[in-house]
């Protein structure tokens, strides 16, 4: 696979799961990686592993739902690492359960992280990505949005999560059309059940439903989705992978 030496990537939600694995794989391919999330201790641990493997990592403690912090995460990356070739909008929360009787603060959290956070980071990053595409040896830059199977298939019990991830899909295709001729590739990754901390934030009764639904499914590992992102960002300049839906084999 092609190397990413000389490029700079910013990964949101890099303190665990898919974001952590993606940051590590990008760094292993030679990209300098900025790691953004709220849990600085977890980011420090990821950065230490990347550095001990010979890579470059920058820790940025940021809550992407605060626009000033999202902008500052992007600007800090460019100030410290010199440019921005790749943004992976991965930060997300999944709080499932029926619409009727739902604690609507869970809806607020999902809309703010999954949609607004992704929009703020994209808005701040795209001018830098356009610049990187025009002045880098690769001649291309990447914005990868992590959506979900839930961005393609609505289900009873995940209505608002569905709404946020369908929104990510719609925004991604619109932005793709806007910037693709400037050689910024906008890609959408839609993972199925992946073994991370994500579902652990649900209420106990919701957790039970999720566990029952996936009890016979061998989940994807975070590394599988990181590998998918790596595939996307290492394609040649003329090839843009618009969308990849990746499920565990046993997920119906």
Q: Which of 16, 56, 67, 234 binds ligand NDP (CB under 6 A)?
A: 16
Contact between 119 and ligand NDP by CB under 6 A: the answer reads: no
For the CA atoms of the chain, what is the radius of gyration?
A: 17
* Torsion angle in degrees (nearest 10) through CA of 175, 11, 138, 55: 180
Contact between 197 and ligand NDP by CB under 6 A: the answer reads: yes
Give the CA distances from residue 18 to residues 52, 230, 244, in Å, rounded to whole numbers and listed in that order.
20, 12, 15
Residue 178 makes CB contacts below 8 A (sequence gap 6+) with none
Residues 176-195 that bind ligand NDP (CB under 6 A): 191, 193-194
Which residue lies nearer to ligand NDP by CB, 5 or 250? 250
Q: Which of 12, 25, 162, 202 binds ligand NDP (CB under 6 A)?
A: 12
Report, in Å, the least distance between residue 138 CB and ligand NDP.
Answer: 26
Q: Can 161 be counted among the known catalytic residues?
A: yes
Contact between 113 and ligand NDP by CB under 6 A: the answer reads: yes
**Cα–Cα nearest to 83, from 166, 142, 39:** 142
Q: Which of 9, 13, 140, 179 binds ligand NDP (CB under 6 A)?
A: 13
Phi and psi at 189, nearest 5°, equal -115, 130
Report, in Å, the least distance between residue 94 CB and ligand NDP.
Answer: 5
């Amino acid at each position: 696979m092609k190397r990413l030496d000389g490029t700079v990537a910013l990964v949101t939600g890099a303190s665990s799961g898919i974001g952590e694995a993606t940051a590590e794989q990008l760094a292993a391919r030679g990209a300098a990686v900025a790691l953004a999330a709220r849990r600085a201790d977890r980011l420090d641990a990821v950065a230490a592993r990347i550095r001990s493997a010979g890579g470059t990592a920058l820790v940025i403690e940021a809550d992407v739902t605060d626009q000033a912090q999202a902008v500052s995460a992007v600007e800090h990356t460019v100030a410290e690492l010199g440019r921005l070739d790749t943004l992976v909008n991965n930060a997300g929360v999944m709080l499932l359960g029926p619409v009727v009787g739902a604690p609507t603060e869970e809806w607020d959290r999902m809309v703010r992280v999954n949609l607004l956070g992704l929009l703020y980071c994209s808005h701040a990053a795209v001018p830098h990505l356009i610049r990187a595409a025009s002045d880098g040896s690769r001649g291309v830059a990447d914005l990868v949005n992590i959506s979900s199977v839930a961005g393609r298939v609505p289900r009873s019990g995940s209505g608002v999560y569905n709404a946020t991830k369908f929104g990510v899909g719609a925004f991604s295709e619109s932005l793709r059309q806007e910037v693709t001729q400037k050689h910024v590739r906008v890609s959408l990754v839609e993972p199925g059940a992946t073994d991370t901390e994500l579902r652990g934030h649900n209420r106990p009764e919701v957790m039970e439903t999720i566990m029952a639904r996936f009890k016979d499914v061998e989940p994807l590992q975070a590394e599988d989705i990181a590998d998918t992102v790596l595939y996307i960002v290492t394609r040649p300049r003329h090839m843009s992978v618009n969308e990849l839906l990746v499920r565990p084999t046993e997920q119906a």
